Amino acid sequence: MATVRRLTSSAIRSRKHARFAVVTAYDAPFARCAEEAGIDVLLVGDSMGNVVLGYESTTPVELGDMCRAAGAVARGTSKAHIIVDLPFGSYQASDEDAVRSSIALVKAGASSVKLEGGESAAPRIAAIVRAGIPVCAHIGVLPQTAAIGAGFKRKSDTARLLADGRAVEAAGAFAVVLEMVDPAAAVELTQALSIPTIGIGAGGGCDAQVLVMHDMLGLFAHAPPFAKRYAEIASIATEAFRTYAREVREGTFPSRTTASEDRAASNADAPVYAISSASTKPTA
Ligand code: KIV
C-alpha cells in the first residue's frame, strides 16, 4: 500500500502565478489515472449529480453522495489534494450545518471543502476555517442555485466579482474557483487577489484551470462549449461493448483455445473467489 502524503492547502495557496491543472474525480480508478498523469489537485465536484448520477442539475446531490465519492477518490490516490464540494442544503442554513457537513467530508477523505457564494458565504467560510478545515471558495456562476435563481449567464460585473473575491479571501479561503466569469474580469480578479484563482469557462488569465472529467474525456453528451475534449472515451467504451456482445453471440468469446482455459472450463464448479481465512473457507 502506498504511503499517503497529500499536497496541502497552504502549498496550493503558495502556487499563486504558477499555472496548474485541476480535474474533477468521483471514483477510484479515474482519480488514480489523474494522479498518475501528474494532476495533484482533484475536485470531487457535485457536478457528479449531472455527469455520473444522471440528474438535470447539482441541486439534488446529498452529503452522503459526496462522502461516498470522496472516500473512493481518497482510496484511489495517495498524493493528490482532494477538494470536495459541500452539496446544496448542507451548509446554507447555519454555520453549525456548514461545520458539521465539512467534518463529515473530511472523515470521508476530503483534504478541504468547497462551497458556492461570495460575500454572502463569507461567514460560512470563516466558520469552517475556524474549525480547522481548509476552504476553497467558488464565485461567478453558482450551479447549485442557478437553475432556481440567477441562471447560467456569464458574470461580468467586475465590481461585484471583486467584492466577492475579496470577501472570500478575507474569510480565509485558500483558493477561489471562478466559474463562467468574463475573461477580462477574471484577469482583474487574478491580479487583485493573493490566493490562486481556478478558472472554468473564465478564459486563460486565471492562475489555474479546472475541467469536469466527463466533459474532457468525451463521456458526457452535454458538455459546455468551453470544455475542451481531450479524448472520446464514450466511443471507445461503446465499441468495446459492441465487440464483446458480438463475440459472445458468435461464440468466439470465451475462445477455450488454450490449455489453461480448458482447465478453467473443466473446473467450472470450483469457487472462483475464495476468502483466504481458514475459518471462512468456502464450502461450495
Ligand atoms: O462541481 C464541480 O465540478 C465544480 C466545477 C464546475 C468547478 O464545482
List the pLDDT tens digit at each of the 284 positions of the chain.
679 999 999 999 999 999 999 999 999 999 999 999 999 999 999 999 999 999 999 999 999 999 999 999 999 999 999 999 999 999 999 999 999 999 999 999 999 999 999 999 999 999 999 999 999 999 999 999 997 888 899 999 999 999 999 999 999 999 999 999 999 999 999 999 999 999 999 999 999 999 999 999 999 999 999 999 999 999 999 999 999 999 999 999 998 766 666 666 566 565 555 444 333 333 33
For ligand 1, atom 5, which residue shows the shortest CA distance? 45
Predicted pLDDT of residue 255: 86
179 is catalytic: yes
Of the three residues 220, 235, 250, the one that is the final residue of a domain is 235
CA distance 111 to 44: 11
At 147 the pLDDT is: 78
Q: Are residues 226 and 85 in the same domain?
A: yes
For residue 27, what are the CA distances in angstroms to 35, 52, 98, 268?
12, 10, 24, 32
Both 248 and 208 in one domain: the answer is no
209 SS3 class: strand
Same domain, 110 and 247: no
Provide the whole-model pTM: 0.91
Q: Is there a single domain that holds both residue 146 and residue 256? A: no
1 within some domain? no
Whether residues 121 and 104 fall in one domain: yes
Task: Decide if 169 is inside a domain.
Answer: yes
CATH of the domain at 170: 3.20.20.60
How far apart are the CA of 52 and the centre of ligand 1, in A? Answer: 13
34 located within any domain: yes
Residue at 126 is within a domain: yes
**The one catalytic residue among 116, 119, 179, 250:** 179
Residues touching ligand 1 (Cβ under 6 Å) are 24, 43, 45-47, 85, 138, 177, 179, 200, 210, 212
pLDDT digits (tens, 9 = 90+) for 232-265: 999 999 999 999 999 999 999 998 766 666 666 5
In a domain, 25, yes or no: yes
Which atom of ligand 1 is the closest one to the Cα of 210? 7
Atom of ligand 1 nearest to the CA of 24: 3
State the cell numbers at 161: 466579482
Atom of ligand 1 nearest to the CA of 198: 7
Q: Do 154 and 271 have their domain in common?
A: no
Residue appearing with cell numbers 453471440: 249
Whether residues 196 and 250 share a domain: the answer is: no
- Per-residue pLDDT tens for 141-175? 999 999 788 889 999 999 999 999 999 999 999 99
Asked if the structure places residue 124 within a domain, the reply is yes
Nearest ligand 1 atom, CA 45: 1
156 and 260 within one domain: no
Q: How much is the pLDDT for 281?
A: 36
C-alpha of 128 from chain center: 20
- Asked if residue 101 lies in contact with residue 66, where contact means CB atoms within 8 angstroms, the answer is no
The values of phi and psi at residue 191, to 5°, are -75, -35
Distance CA 158, CA 181 (A): 9
Domain of 172?
A: 9-235
Say whether both 230 and 241 belong to one domain: no
The answer to whether residue 116 is domain-embedded is yes
Euclidean distance between CA atoms 171 and 195, whole angstroms: 12
How far is the C-alpha of 216 from the C-alpha of 233, rounded, in Å? 9
- Give a yes or no: residue 4 inside a domain: no
Number of domains in the chain: 2
Claim to verify: residue 257 and residue 122 sit in the same structural domain:
no
267 lies in the same domain as 187 = no
Residue from 22, 24, 52, 145 whose mutation best tests the ligand 1 pocket (most atoms within 8 A of CB): 24
Q: Atom 2 in ligand 1: which residue has the minimum CA distance?
A: 45
In a shared domain, residues 266 and 148: no
